[in-house]
Amino acid sequence: MGYRLSKIYTRTGDQGTTGLADGSRVSKAHPRIEAIGEIDTVNSQLGLLLAHLTEDLVMWPGLNEIIVLLHECQHRLFEIGGELAMPGYESLSQADIELLEQKLDEWNQEVGPLEEFILPAGSIAIAQSHICRSSARSAERRCALLHEQEPIRSELLSYINRLSDVFFVVARLIGKRQHINEVLWQPRV
């Protein structure tokens, strides 16, 4: 494969616009660019989560299954960004959503029902998974806003919605597999 970028800066965005893959230019504040940016943020946060999990893998081999799925999710997020940047390009399929649902069902059974509200705490990896969850929710809101103005495929919206659920269940699963108790919300009395 040849070089994708021969020069990092182009100066074409200096006036507040950016180019889409079809050659059109839009404001950097356009809802499509906002959605792409939020997807990029989720992907970056996911990269940090994967780094933490990989460091913990030596001591906790049960994390490997989580890492494998999250690596897959990271690639799908990159493709979602591409789909948003290239009108007409389709990257996700129903099978991608079904994979997340299958893992959610399997892992949710392992962690058991949620009986109390939990806080995003317990370990760095657990807290980072919750950061990924909240970042995915933000990306979902940006995609929903874009969808109101310029319809996007339902598979994209569904995938992001399931992904935030995956991060929530992954946070609980990390705790379970590392024997870390969930930090429960303590209401004021």
Q: The domain that contains 124 carries what CATH number?
A: 1.20.1200.10
21 part of a folded domain: no
CA 85, CA 64: separation in Å to the nearest integer?
32
20 part of a folded domain: no
16 part of a folded domain: no
17 part of a folded domain: no
37 part of a folded domain: yes
31 part of a folded domain: yes
pLDDT in the model for residue 102: 98
Would you write out the chain's pLDDT as a tens digit for each of its 189 residues? 444 556 665 665 566 666 666 777 776 668 888 999 999 999 999 999 999 999 877 778 889 999 999 999 999 999 999 999 987 889 899 999 999 999 999 999 999 998 889 989 999 999 999 999 999 999 999 999 999 999 999 999 999 999 999 999 999 999 999 999 998 898 888
Q: What is the rounded end-to-end Cα distance, in angstroms, of the chain?
A: 62
Q: Taking the CA atoms of 1, 5, 69 and 76 in sequence, report the sign of the dihedral they define.
A: negative
Please report, as a single letter, which amino acid is at residue 43: N
Distances (CA, A) of 73 to 136, 137, 184: 12, 15, 28
What contacts 158, CB < 8 A, 6 or more positions away?
97
The model carries a pTM of 0.89
Q: Which residue range is the domain that position 137 belongs to?
A: 27-110+117-177
List, in sequence order, the alpha helices (H) in 1-63. 31-56
pLDDT in the model for residue 1: 43
Give the total number of structural domains in the chain: 1
19 part of a folded domain: no
10 part of a folded domain: no
pLDDT in the model for residue 163: 98
pLDDT in the model for residue 18: 65
